């Protein structure tokens, strides 16, 4: 078996609110620096993006593509929005399968010709019917978030996927949740958890900010499918992502002024902020409390560890006090670390911490801190990202220490 770092969920420049730099050559280069081996193309039902893919990618092995002998491999993926504003992630066996699905969905969408993440007039169950026709896999994207996810609309997966529930093999946790939260929900325990970036820009503090480490025999679609369904010893062996407190929708909060509320208070206030009259949105943490069958997670045997990281640029920002993550100073320090120690993922997750400290003591100390679960955060909510902090200003709505790989 071999292990690969994979980010299945990104968006191209054809999705709303994305960077114009989201083109495959840039993504391939940045993924290599990050340490991702396989990246979802995203937006594979969009005709312009499909054309871009066909022009510059060549098929390496069945369903896995590369860009001019670079290290990065691509697998064909997309995200669509159904008639209830629920987002689904689709993983295709080939570019031609994505083209076929595009054809089938044409009559169910007004914007599939121009939008990277199209709006469809069909429900989740019907989407799986179409995906099955092209042998693609479907699962809910960022399953807990309050605007466009399955659990904002339904109390169970079955209400969304109906008779096709049996075909759902994975759920994407989203930035505001992790395995410790999601394994409190009984119906999710048999499923594979995915941690993906959902990035709108190619830079390594976004691309692969969450990723999966999968174990399989060789890099091709069938093997990726086996790893997502735990067949014959293949599987996701590690989920890696932000602390859920960093997510934009972790706590219940006002969408205008970002003031945070306890769920009971939000209900009493009828979801209107007393400060600014803005709309209060239910946080992922409170939504999971409603859906959970107990206070503690029950991890199934197949569940891999979930480890929390901070993007390296964010670590450098913390120790340097420079807030713009794309600034030259942060980028220079980032580059010298990556030049000395290999990829960003190697630095954050795998490297010997004493080696990191030798190159950059301050950065090494912060990495050591989050690796041992001692990092503090100010939680996000209402659409505002949470943030790590070296001060004592942590708020204690959600205070659970990180467990180590060895605790499982």
Least CB distance from residue 45 to Zn ion, whole Å?
14
Report, in angstroms and rounded to the nearest whole number, the Rg of the chain calculated over CA atoms. Answer: 20
- With respect to Zn ion, which residue has the nearer C-beta, 277 or 302? 277
Minimal CA–CA distance to 23: which of 60, 63, 57? 57
- With respect to Zn ion, which residue has the nearer C-beta, 149 or 238? 149
Number of residues in the chain: 408
The gap from C-alpha 251 to its chain's centroid, in whole angstroms, comes to 18
Least CB distance from residue 145 to Zn ion, whole Å?
8
Q: Which stretches of 245-370 are assigned E, i.e. beta strand? A: 253-254, 280-281, 306-308
| CA–CA–CA angle 2, 223, 132 (5° rounding) | 155
Least CB distance from residue 11 to Zn ion, whole Å?
9
- With respect to Zn ion, which residue has the nearer C-beta, 182 or 254? 254
- With respect to Zn ion, which residue has the nearer C-beta, 85 or 114? 85
* Separation CA 58–CA 72 (nearest Å): 12
- With respect to Zn ion, which residue has the nearer C-beta, 154 or 237? 154
* Separation CA 404–CA 189 (nearest Å): 20
Number of H helices, E strands in the chain: 15, 17
How far is the CA of 380 from the CAs of 40, 253, 351, in angstroms? Answer: 27, 8, 29
- With respect to Zn ion, which residue has the nearer C-beta, 140 or 204? 140
What residues line the site for Zn ion (CB under 5 A)?
A: 87, 141, 254, 256-257, 273, 275-276, 278
Least CB distance from residue 147 to Zn ion, whole Å?
9
**Per-residue DSSP letter, 403:** P
Least CB distance from residue 233 to Zn ion, whole Å?
31
SS3 of residue 165 by DSSP: helix
């Amino acid at each position: 078996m071999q292990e690969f770092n994979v980010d299945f969920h990104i968006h191209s420049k054809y999705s709303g609110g994305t960077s114009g730099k989201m083109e495959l050559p840039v993504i391939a280069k940045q993924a290599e620096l990050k340490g991702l081996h396989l990246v979802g193309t995203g937006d594979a039902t969009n005709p312009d993006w499909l054309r871009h893919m066909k022009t510059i990618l060549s098929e390496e092995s069945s369903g896995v593509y590369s860009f001019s002998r670079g290290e990065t491999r691509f697998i064909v993926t997309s995200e669509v929005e159904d008639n209830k504003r629920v987002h689904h992630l689709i993983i295709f066996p080939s570019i031609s399968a994505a083209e076929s699905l595009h054809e089938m969905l044409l009559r169910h969408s007004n914007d599939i010709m121009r939008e990277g993440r199209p709006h469809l007039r069909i429900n989740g169950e019907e989407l799986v019917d179409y995906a099955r026709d092209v042998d693609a896999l479907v699962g809910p994207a960022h399953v807990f978030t309050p605007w466009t996810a399955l659990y904002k609309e339904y109390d169970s997966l079955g209400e969304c996927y109906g008779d096709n529930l049996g075909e759902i093999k994975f759920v994407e946790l989203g930035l505001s949740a992790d395995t410790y939260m999601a394994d409190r929900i009984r119906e999710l325990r048999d499923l594979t958890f995915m941690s993906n970036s959902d990035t709108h820009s190619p830079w390594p503090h976004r691309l692969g900010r969450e990723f999966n480490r999968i174990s399989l025999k060789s890099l091709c679609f069938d093997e990726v499918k086996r790893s997502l369904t735990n067949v014959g010893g293949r599987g996701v062996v590690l989920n890696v992502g932000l602390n859920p407190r960093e997510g934009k929708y972790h706590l219940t909060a006002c969408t205008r002024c970002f003031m945070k509320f306890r769920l009971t208070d939000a209900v009493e206030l009828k979801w209107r902020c007393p400060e600014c009259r803005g709309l209060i949105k239910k946080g992922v943490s409170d939504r999971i409390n409603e859906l959970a069958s107990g206070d503690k997670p029950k991890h199934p045997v197949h569940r891999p560890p979930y480890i929390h990281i901070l993007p390296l640029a964010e670590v450098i920002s913390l120790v340097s006090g420079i807030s713009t993550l794309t600034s030259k100073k942060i980028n220079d320090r980032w580059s010298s670390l990556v030049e000395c120690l290999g990829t960003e993922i190697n630095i954050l997750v795998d490297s010997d911490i004493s080696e990191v400290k030798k190159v950059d003591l301050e950065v090494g100390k912060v990495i050591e801190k989050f690796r041992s679960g001692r990092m503090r955060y100010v939680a996000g909510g209402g659409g505002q990202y949470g943030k790590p902090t070296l001060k004592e200003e942590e708020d204690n709505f959600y205070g659970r220490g990180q467990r180590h790989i060895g605790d499982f």
